Amino acid sequence: MSLPEILLIALGLAMDAFAVSICSGAKEITRGLRPTFRLSFHFGLFQFLMPILGWFLGSWIQDYIVFIDHWIAFGLLAFVGVRMIKSGFAKDEVPDNLDPSKGMNLVMLSIATSIDAFAIGLSFAMLKVNIWFPGIVIGVVTGILSLIGVQLGNKLGIRFGKKMELIGGAILIIIGVRILFEHLYIN
């Protein structure tokens, strides 16, 4: 898998965290260095860890599903992409009484925004892609975009967050179609 493809996947996966970061940054309680760091660090860390966990699970079951692995990779990418697009059309905001940068709220948001990365890790195992470099790229891109998202949220509110989720979902679906096409028609 090429670096541009890994970067596109990382950008697609980071859109959930980016959108949540913008919503979180729009709240008065999350302004300042500490909340910004906590959100961006945890979102990046979970986006790094989840594809690795998915990859290990996928590597373990890979021998049992070798004949349909390309369909599984396509299905997972399409599922994640459609879910992101659906989320992009939803009207979910961070409640006013919730501090998203602390405690269980932060952990739950970190898990929720990185579930997609777990599925991508499964896909990478099916495609026999070494997970360490993509995992690092995904984590770093998410951390940086989350940092930017909180700052944008501080300044712009939640105006653009949902549109970015739509773009990220479309990117993942396109990559899934490309994987399926390559396996069925080129190999």
Radius of gyration of the chain, Cα coordinates, nearest whole angstrom? 16
Say which DSSP state 99 is in: -
Angle between helices 132-156 and 3-25 (to 10 degrees): 30
Q: Would you kindly state where each structural domain of the chain is located, as residue ranges?
A: 3-186
CA gap 16, 171 in Å, rounded: 13
The pLDDT value recorded for residue 20 is 80
Residues 46, 111 contacting (CB under 8 angstroms): yes
- pLDDT score, position 164: 61
Mean pLDDT in consecutive groups of 10 residues from the start of the chain, 187 residues: 92 86 76 91 96 92 73 76 75 60 86 86 89 96 95 71 67 77 77
DSSP string, 52-97: HHHHHHHHHHGGGSTTTHHHHHHHHHHHHHHHHHHHHHS-----TT
